[in-house]
Amino acid sequence: MIYYYDLLNIFELNGLPSEDNPYLFNGDFVDRGSFSVEVILTLFAFKCMSPSVRSKLSEIFVELFAEVFCCLPLAHVINEKVFVVHGGLFSVDGVKLSDIRAIDRFCEPPEEGLMCEVLWSDPQPQPGRGPSKRGVGLSFGGDVTKKFLQENNLDLVVRSHEVKDEGFEIEHDGKLITVFSAPNYCDQMGNKGAFIRFEAPDMKPNIVTFAAVPHPDVKPMAYANNFLRLFS
């Protein structure tokens, strides 16, 4: 999750994206802020650079965005050590990276299965697995994280998906980090934002936190009614 003016602030703090300064954005590019279009178009513009209206979106733009989102990766592995995923881990043991690569990504996410879980699951403090507070995906404990990392020869899980007061939270004996890059979520939570820098070769996570920056007085979800009307 990130807002446009906070995205610009991250670039001020950490430099613009480039071949020498790559970024990995971990989902929730849109949906909660009234500058979501600016966020996703900025990210798309940087991606392309390296290799009087009443509504922000026309129907064709909505369809194009939906099509592009169905092509975005489900997960990343950085330097064969860090597993980056938006939501979390799985309802069964033994899931390998090859299983994730084998998922047919080019579709809307289903309501169950590996794709659903990787997008919607959340960590829990107790071991084992439990029902999801969201009604989709699941909650998973530190033992699940440890086993997944061991079976795939990885060191760390990085995920997002949940607002955190300090912009991040380290759980599961240091094997899982939640990072959330939208400070003052929905203009009311008062939380910090954060991003993580990884320095090769040891890939030790350096967590940078930041506060919200001012933005024009447009409330979160201000354009939602116009957007939803396109689907009616």
pLDDT band at 227 (very low <50, low <70, confident <90, very high): very low
d(CA 205, CA 207): 6
Structure tokens at 99: 């299983």
Residue 186 is classified by DSSP as G
- Per-residue pLDDT of 78-130, as tens digits, reads 999 999 999 999 999 999 999 999 999 999 999 999 999 999 999 999 999 99
d(CA 93, CA 84): 18
Domain residue spans in the chain?
4-217
Q: Does domain 4-217 have CATH number 3.90.320.10?
A: no
d(CA 160, CA 196): 11
Residue 50 is classified by DSSP as -
The H or E element spanning position 173 is none
Q: Which residue has the higher pLDDT, 157 or 2?
A: 157
d(CA 87, CA 138): 10
**What mean pLDDT is reported for the chain?**
89
- Per-residue pLDDT of 167-220, as tens digits, reads 999 999 999 999 999 999 888 899 999 999 999 899 999 999 999 998 888 776
Residue 86 near residue 26 (C-beta atoms within 8 A)? yes
Record the pTM.
0.80
